[in-house]
Amino acid sequence: MSTNSPTIPAETARHVLWHFGQDGGSQPGIFTQYLMHTIATADVVNTAKLADVYPDYTAAIVAAKLDPDVITHLQKIAAGLRCARCGDTDGPFDGAGTSLRCEGCIGGAQ
């Protein structure tokens, strides 16, 4: 599996949330449903192979399976909450739209 951490787009986050039956999710097409099921049930070797082709889905699903706190992170991505300065999705945030800033950017250099 790749050692870099892929960016998870909002659409991917919404699909993965749907897969796990969480708030903020939206149902994807049938191919993506089967893909997510395949990733979620794959062994380590096949998960690595799938990560080469579908890095965002694989990263989101594996992380959600290993750490329940990732669901909250995916919900923030799905809702479009992202710092306009650094791209962070952890929050807390202040501002709105293109001026939305995370706590670190508000307290640090603007």
Q: What is the mean pLDDT of the chain?
A: 85
Q: How many structural domains comprise the chain?
A: 2
Q: What is the pLDDT of residue 86?
A: 80
What does the alpha-carbon distance between residue 97 and residue 52 come to, in Å, rounded to a whole number?
A: 33
Could you tell me what percent of the chain has a pLDDT over 90? Answer: 54
Q: For residues 54 and 88, state if they share a domain.
A: no
Q: For residues 40 and 27, state if they share a domain.
A: yes
Q: What is the pLDDT of residue 1?
A: 42
Q: For residues 60 and 36, state if they share a domain.
A: yes
Long-range contacts of 63-67 (CB under 8 A, 24+ apart): 64/16, 64/20, 65/40
Q: What is the pLDDT of residue 2?
A: 43
Helix (H, G, I), strand (E, B) or coil at 50: helix
Structural domain boundaries enclosing 39 = 1-79
Chain segment 57-105, per-residue pLDDT in tens:
999 999 999 998 899 989 988 888 777 778 777 667 676 555 677 778 8
Q: Are 52 and 61 in contact (CB under 8 A)?
A: no
Q: For residues 50 and 7, state if they share a domain.
A: yes
